[in-house]
Amino acid sequence: MIAELGHFALALGIAFAFAQAIIPLWGAWRGDIRLMQSAPGLALGQAMAMVSSFACLVWVSVSDDFSVSNVAENSHTLKPLLYKITGAWGSHEGSILFWCLILSLCGGAVALFGRNLPAGLRARVIGVLALSSCGFELFAILESDPFLRIWPPPENGQDMNPLLQDPGLAFHPPMLYAGYVGFAIPFAFAVAALIEGRMDAAWGRWVRPWTLGAWCCLTGGIALGSWWSYYVLGWGGFWFWDPVENASLLPWLTGTALLHCAIVVEKREALKIWTVLLAIGTFAFSLSGTFLVRSGILNSVHSFANDPARGVFILALLGLVIGGSLLLFLIRAPLLGASGIFAPVSREGALVLNNILLCAIAAVVATGTTFPLFADLLFQSKISVGPPFYNITVLPLAAPVFIAMAVAPLMAWKRAALVPALMKLWWVALVAFLVGLVSAFGMSALPAMFMAFAAWMICGAFADIIERIRLFRVPFGNALSRLINLPRSHFGTTLGHAGMGVTVAGIAGMSMAVQEVVLVHPGETVKLAGYEWRLEEMHNAVGSNYNARVATITVSRNGQLVTTLSPERRAFTTQTMTTTEAKIHTNLLRDLYAVLGEERDGAAVLRLHDNTMAPLIWLGALVMGMGGFCSLADRRLRIAAPSRAARSLPGAERA
């Protein structure tokens, strides 16, 4: 009964989506205000239908209704409640429904928080969002129905892949999807601007908070995913240049470029055509990221199901959305008008450079990800493109971005002088040089160089603030009041750039990580990285749906106990799979990391890591995300909304 309700709600959502796509767009075309005014109501209707549908899926999952095929394939009576809930978006069908849910929520958010938009623009944005909703909800109900019944229902389910039964992975997909799908809003704004043939500074101001919100979620989603692979996959790696990871990195790169471009549109009405193209491109990468991976075209550790019928449907859908919007772009982009003028050396110029480099990195990653596929299809030649390729090609493109990040905020709009901007950064350069020099004693040349870049970025980010409040040049109290009155978006920039620096420092610092694989008996001690790791004992433990072998390891330094780690090996009964549960002790500057391996004659194989600076990788992402939210809280984003100022702010955050 509940499953049928969910199915019905999904169908209702599709009906709403079609109405929401046709009526407002038609109304905006005819200039009929009544038809345009129907957009918010329809968008909210679709969002409510999709929320009900997804709630039904969670309900059948939690109530162990194994007559629903999706639940039977991905759940089990013994699965912990948390994973029964998160399993609703962990499976293939569920994740597609979840994707549609977020897309409908985006429409609802624009309906609720976009009241200060001109009626025509709002109708078109909501209509375009609904157009894509139609396609993907049709895909959900026709090709990947999560509510499909099976007869006879099995006695129990097949359980979920134990790797996915992890709190980190439980919350990684919602964050990531909110990021992916959130870019649908800038996309819809871009398509609406193309239809209207008009784009001005106000457009930039409306688009920026949505882009920023999506960007924050995507940053968080990628960081969570990377953190998950760091502690679940059990060998201390955090980024593998795997096709799925690349698929999430691509919209992040172009989305970052879009974020910066939207600023130029807002402040200077320049780079309009380029911004529209970036908005389309970012959503195109988001779509192909989710769906090419799901279709099984790109093989990867993360692929769910491979099904040719789904693949064809998805490819057709992608072709329609991306091809259609690009066609519209080709026809209508010249209408958007000439750009504002600026000299090559200016804030705009620096942002153009940032765009070229970020997009070049995205192009390289996209080429590397799809190249094996084309080489196989066109030349029957099997080749691999792995981490060494990306390290060689991406790092030289990333280095100039890192350098420019500190300089650009200090440059003036329109026309700037490079030398004075660099002069203001003399102390930053000195700090970076010293950090690089000191690092060179502990690590090899390349990571030491990136440590210097990290210091340059972090200090450079704060140099911007110091310049703005004229610290040490005006009396201290004066500087303090300047600091308090500084718009929050400046702190957003600073935190965003500094966070990137912290992440780079973490990645560079990981080159100092040491690890050792040892075979030890209980009571024996191993020395690694100045710590004594002593295997105390081993025992059995029973979890809700697994049996575990647990080792107790005490880690001490100079006789002083630092921590006790108890890594596990878990044998999952239903899925007949063994996973290792790494245990990590962190002091935010280094991780002590222990994994338990097989046992032989009373001795256990242990893998011990001392990962210097590893936590900084994710701390940096956290700081970046905080920067984004700080910027969202800027009151200048509200001033653009004259009458309903106070209420338009939450719209910037994700619903």
Give the residues lining the site for another protein (CB under 8 A): 161, 163, 233-235, 237, 240-243, 273-274, 299-301, 303, 338-341, 344, 352, 355-357, 359-360, 363-364, 367-368, 371, 375, 379, 381-389, 392-394, 396-397, 517-519, 569, 577-580, 595, 597-598, 605-607
CB of 186 closer than 8 Å to CB of 279: yes
Direct distance between the N- and C-terminal alpha carbons of the chain, in angstroms, rounded to an integer: 29
- Rounded least distance, CB 207 to another protein, Å: 20
C-beta closer to another protein: residue 77 or 381: 381
CB 35 to another protein: min, Å: 38
- Pairing outcome for strands 546-557 and 531-542: antiparallel
- Cβ–Cβ contacts within 10 Å for residue 316, how many? 12
User: Closest distance between another protein and the C-beta of residue 445, in Å?
Assistant: 16
Q: Output 59 or 389, the one with its CB closest to another protein.
A: 389
Phi-psi region of 399 (alpha: psi -120 to 50; beta: other; left: phi over 0): alpha
Instruction: Tell me whether residue 79 or residue 607 sits nearer to another protein (CB atom).
Output: 607
- Residue (22 or 363) nearer to another protein, CB: 363
| Strand order, beta sheet including 603-612 | 514-520, 603-612, 590-600, 583-586
Q: For residues 197 and 334, which CB has a smaller minimum distance to another protein in the complex? A: 334
Question: Smallest gap, in angstroms, from Cβ of residue 297 to another protein?
Answer: 13
The 8-class DSSP code of residue 154 comes to P
| Nearest-approach distance from CB 235 to another protein, in angstroms | 6
Q: How far is the CB of 333 from another protein (least distance, A)?
A: 12
Reference 98, options 128, 60, 136, 135; nearest CA is 136
Q: Nearer to another protein by C-beta: 352 or 649?
A: 352
Q: 268 — phi, psi (to 5°)?
A: -130, 0
Distance CA 535, CA 549 (A): 14
CA dist 579 and 572 (Å) reads: 8
Residue 391 Cβ vs another protein, minimum distance, rounded to whole Å = 9
- Residue 556's DSSP bridge partners are 532, 561
Is the distance from CB of 596 to CB of 551 less than 8 angstroms?
yes
Question: What is the SS3 string spanning 244-264?
Answer: HHHHHHHHHHHHHHHHHHHHH
CB of 306 to another protein, least distance (A): 9
User: For another protein, which is the closer residue by CB, 185 or 520?
Assistant: 520
Residue placing its CB nearer to another protein in the complex, 12 or 577: 577
Q: Are 546 and 570 in contact (CB under 8 A)?
A: yes
Distance, in Å, from the CA atom of 324 to the CA atom of 280, rounded to the nearest integer, reads 10
- Residue whose CB is less far from another protein, 339 or 556: 339
Dist CA 518 CA 608 (whole Å): 8
Helices 488-509 and 387-407 meet at what angle, rounded to 10? 140
Q: How far is the CB of 286 from another protein (least distance, A)?
A: 20
Q: Closest separation between CB of residue 463 and another protein, Å? A: 27
Q: Which helix (H) or strand (E) holds 476?
A: helix 476-485
Q: How many CB atoms lie within 10 A of CB 130?
A: 28
Nearer to another protein among residue 203 and residue 390 (C-beta) = 390
